[in-house]
Chains A and B, each alone.
Chain A
Amino acid sequence: MKERSILIVDDDEISRELLIRYLRNHGLNVIAASNGREGLELFERNPVPVVITDLYMPDLDGRGLVQGLAATNPPPVILMQTVEQDAATAVEMMREGVHDYIIKPIRERELIFRVDRALEYYESQRTLEALEQERRMRLDRQLNWNVWKEAVASRDSDRYDSSLFQNLRVCFTQGAGFGGLVALAELMEGVAQKQDGFYMIPEEIMTEILSNAATARRTLEEFRELDTILNAEIALEPTSFEQFFKMQQELLREMQALATIKQQTIKQGTPTPPATGGHLLMHGTYLQRALRELLVNACKFSDEKSEILLLYKTAGSKFLITVLNKPGATVNLAVPGFEHALFEPFLRFGSTVDERYGTLDYGLGLTQAEKIVRSHRGRLTASHVRFHLENDEAFRLNMEVELPIVKGDET
């Protein structure tokens, strides 16, 4: 399968030639056929992610071609050419498996936009399929970690964590806090000069004190928020999927700046709400914080120029949000099969703090994210995934947020 290849099926040689030229100019590989039968045979010999077809053609028409392509595995994403007056037919064809349509006369910008979108859709669909296959394989294997998970689940982790965080906060504010204060006081005493009833201290020391105070404030704020998440009832609001996806767009916009640090790309799957309707119950700020944490980690612990995927899927009464990345070779992640350990407090992926991401790096981020998702009556799981279909030996880290879909007036 050539990843950026397009098959054009059109009996009109002028249209075919134009499509070929526009797409090749955009760096895509293009193959072409002049009717549906020839197109289907060509696809079987050279499967491609996207097929652009006309509707009326001799031998096998567009409808027949769509049916034939739908029976292939994996099926391509199909774009249908149409003229404005035939838009109703195009919509009808979408019910039969056509993904999108391109209006004639073909305009370059419009064509490229729709083809790029179709390629992204194909890629996200393949990733979801690979995840599904991986999930099935994992269940089949009956990994030993179930035993360990049971042991972890049997302890009252919230109470344990609550006490742990409380003790830690005391240490920070009373132990380490006093320690830091003493060290700074001694430093100032050594360099300060007394003049007219005032102490003069070097600007660098003052800057250092203010910077430490700012970090201390953020730390205390983070602990206060953890307290709320662990001990207070978080008010969940009914939120439509439209609102949720809008929030995701804002989050993605914010994340693009972090992705540029390592020239990474964050790709979002098609935001598709559940076909059966319903909404989410959520606390917008907290849930976004949890999702942000997953994306920041994905950026932080993946290689330069790598790709991070954010995908959505409905599975029965659950809505799944997946963050998938390929961790860099130097990142020491939890042992495959024991991924749940990622949510243990103070587990850190790297030995050094990367200041470019503006995070505190106490190793509490994922713990916090997991608590937030649980307070949404959901589940956050981590798993290692290998894309066996693609013969790619490197594993991906798959962080999956599972949220209940709420119907009608349920709360």
Chain B
Amino acid sequence: MDDTTEHLNNSILNDLMQLNSESEPRFVEGLIDRFETLIAEKIAEMRVALDTGDRDRLFKVAHSLKGSGANLGAVALADICRDLQTDSQAANFESLGGMVDGLEYLAPRTLEALRQYVRTA
């Protein structure tokens, strides 16, 4: 997963870049900045859900982050969220901590890959 090109869907990003306009040339960069804040909030919320054994909360947080990630072309991150969402309903709740760790590891790399794409587009 260290190859950042695998983290992203270039076709989606290419569409997104069309949203930068003369009046708002940094629209996509603004979205990525907000995504960074959002990831931090959602991972923290996932940790709380894990600690309290709140399956429903974990399901909804993972669903929400999955949508944001998919829409920004962050497919690898969205895939982990999808697995978390599905497995949140499974019996072995404790093992999900490893998946959240994986998300935390992937997040900064995904953000860097997104910014790199925007810089070179």
Residues of A within 8 A of B (CB): 10-15, 17-18, 21-22, 25, 54, 56, 58, 81, 83, 85, 104-108
Q: Judging by beta carbons under 8 Å apart, are A108 and B71 in contact? A: no
Q: A13 with B38: in contact, given A56-B60, A56-B64, A107-B12 (CB under 8 Å)?
A: yes
Q: What distance in Å separates the Cβ of B84 from its nearest Cβ neighbour in chain A?
A: 13
Closest to A108 in B: B15
Q: A104 with B70: in contact, given A14-B34, A58-B60 (CB under 8 Å)?
A: yes
Q: A105 with B71: in contact, given A13-B38, A83-B82 (CB under 8 Å)?
A: yes
Residues of B within 8 A of A (CB): 9, 12, 15-16, 18-19, 27, 31, 34-35, 38, 59-60, 63-64, 66-68, 70-73, 82, 86
| CA A13 to CA B9, docked complex, whole Å | 20
Q: Judging by beta carbons under 8 Å apart, are A15 and B60 in contact? A: no
Closest to A11 in B: B64
> Which among B34, B63, B70, B86 is the interface contact of A13 at CB below 8 angstroms?
B34
Q: Judging by beta carbons under 8 Å apart, are A54 and B27 in contact? A: no
Q: Which of A11, A25, A104 has its CB near the most chain B CB atoms (within 10 A)?
A: A104
Closest 7 pairs between A and B when the two form their complex, measured CB to CB: A14-B68, A105-B70, A56-B63, A12-B67, A104-B70, A105-B71, A12-B64
Q: Which of B27, B64, B86 has its CB near the most chain A CB atoms (within 10 A)?
A: B64
Q: Judging by beta carbons under 8 Å apart, are A81 and B31 in contact? A: no
| Chain B residues with CB below 8 A from A83, complex form | 66-67, 70, 82
Q: Judging by beta carbons under 8 Å apart, are B71 and A15 in contact? A: yes
Q: What distance in Å separates the Cβ of B41 from its nearest Cβ neighbour in chain A?
A: 11
Closest to B30 in A: A17
The 11 listed contacts between A and B (C-beta, < 8 Å) are A11-B64, A13-B34, A13-B68, A14-B34, A14-B38, A14-B71, A15-B67, A25-B19, A56-B63, A105-B71, A105-B73
| Chain B residues with CB below 8 A from A21, complex form | 19, 27
Chain B interface, >50% SS class = helix
| CA A81 to CA B63, docked complex, whole Å | 12
> Which among B34, B38, B72, B82 is the interface contact of A85 at CB below 8 angstroms?
B82
Q: Judging by beta carbons under 8 Å apart, are A105 and B34 in contact? A: no
Tally the A-B contacts, defined by beta carbons under 8 Å.
55
| Chain B residues with CB below 8 A from A17, complex form | 31, 34
Q: A18 with B70: in contact, given A56-B59, A58-B60, A107-B15 (CB under 8 Å)?
A: no
Q: Which of B9, B59, B71 has its CB near the most chain A CB atoms (within 10 A)?
A: B71
Q: Judging by beta carbons under 8 Å apart, are A81 and B15 in contact? A: no
Q: What distance in Å separates the Cβ of B45 from its nearest Cβ neighbour in chain A?
A: 11
Q: Judging by beta carbons under 8 Å apart, are A14 and B72 in contact? A: yes
| Chain B residues with CB below 8 A from A108, complex form | 15, 18
| CA A17 to CA B12, docked complex, whole Å | 15
| CA A339 to CA B25, docked complex, whole Å | 59
| Chain B residues with CB below 8 A from A85, complex form | 82, 86
| CA A107 to CA B11, docked complex, whole Å | 10
Q: Judging by beta carbons under 8 Å apart, are A18 and B64 in contact? A: no
Q: What distance in Å separates the Cβ of B48 from its nearest Cβ neighbour in chain A?
A: 14
Q: What distance in Å separates the Cβ of A350 from its nearest Cβ neighbour in chain B?
A: 49
Q: Judging by beta carbons under 8 Å apart, are A105 and B64 in contact? A: no
Q: What distance in Å separates the Cβ of A273 from its nearest Cβ neighbour in chain B?
A: 35
Q: Judging by beta carbons under 8 Å apart, are A81 and B34 in contact? A: no
| CA A25 to CA B20, docked complex, whole Å | 11
| Chain B residues with CB below 8 A from A13, complex form | 34, 38, 68
Q: Judging by beta carbons under 8 Å apart, are A14 and B73 in contact? A: no
Q: What distance in Å separates the Cβ of A405 from its nearest Cβ neighbour in chain B?
A: 43
> Which among B12, B59, B82, B86 is the interface contact of A105 at CB below 8 angstroms?
B12
Q: What distance in Å separates the Cβ of B70 from its nearest Cβ neighbour in chain A?
A: 4
Q: What distance in Å separates the Cβ of B120 from its nearest Cβ neighbour in chain A?
A: 21
Q: Which of A22, A58, A85, A105 has its CB near the most chain B CB atoms (within 10 A)?
A: A105
| CA A202 to CA B72, docked complex, whole Å | 74
| Chain A residues with CB below 8 A from B60, complex form | 56, 58
Closest to B18 in A: A108
| CA A15 to CA B78, docked complex, whole Å | 13
Q: Judging by beta carbons under 8 Å apart, are A106 and B71 in contact? A: yes
| Chain A residues with CB below 8 A from B86, complex form | 85
